Amino acid sequence: MMSMKPKQKSGRVGLARALSKLGYCSRTQAAELIRTGYVHLNERVRRDPETPVHLDRDRITIDGNPIEARAKIYLMMNKPRGLVTTASDEKGRETVYAVLRAAMQSQANHQSSPHDPSERAAQRNNAAKYAFPEDPSSRAESEQQLPWVAPVGRLDKASEGLLLVTNDSQWAARIAAPKTHLDKTYHVQIARVVEEAWTQSLISGVRDEDGEMLRAKQARVLRSAQKSCWLEIILDQGKNRQIRRMLAARSVEVLRLVRVAIGPLQLGNLPKGRFRPLTQDEKRLLDGAMLTNEARRNATSACKQR
């Protein structure tokens, strides 16, 4: 698994944000831990998530365990259809963490003694319970498992394909930021056959039922069958359920929607329901693409101000 040594931190941030920056849990989970009295700062209980922290010199502990910066983890997942892209769901629907837990359970199966079924079952249960705990108070029991990670952005329940997962909250925020926003490429199966000229309307812009103008950066027909066809649509707007809203406005039913690329990163042949670490080259490609986008947007902004 690709990880990177954490850099030395400096400056003052809120306590909840500090835990997120250290890769311990999300800011929401951190705030819950802090308010319930689990977190000590310099040997004192702190219940205010905004308590100032100097990451380079203050000591944070949870249940007596010191919290240090964790190695950064960057994963790519092929999200199956039917999973929600959240840590937990108020409706009880299965989330993308099921994919991660399944991998940990498989790892536990391989590590178990083949001669001891009871031990093998216990390891499977522990892996499923503690690999990616949704209750942050159970973190102390999971120190030997993969650290907290979170999806970067979202794919809706009915969509599938490439999803980034990381414990580097700053990196995740940069990918979603307007200045560094990366194009996203989708392959979309629709319940009708269209001509190449029809896809130009998606580039020109479509108003959804609320009157919002939605545009694709690029769109083309990939292949056609008798009653359906596949389109390739590239977005640079990053709006919620954008493709589904655009096609609904044209009275077109979406049969499948698969994200196949984020910027220069391709889903490739990663099997559905599996994940793997990014290679160093893939991470560098993503970072380079973000820097290029930021420089381009800064230059455009400077030209407009002249």
| Nearest Cα to Cα of residue 165 among 54, 49, 270 | 270
The position carrying tokens 């040594």 is 5
Find the catalytic residue in 58, 89, 156, 208.
156
Q: DSSP letter string over 176-237?
A: HSTTTPPPEEEEEEESS---HHHHHHHHH-EE-TTS-EE--SEEEEEEE-SS-EEEEEEESS
10 Å CB burial of residue 262 (0-12, 13-18, 19+) is buried
For the chain, how many residues are written?
Answer: 306
Q: Distance between CA 25 and CA 15 in Å, rounded?
A: 12
* CB neighbours of residue 80 within 10 Å: 16
- Known active-site residue 48: no
The catalytic site residues sit at 156
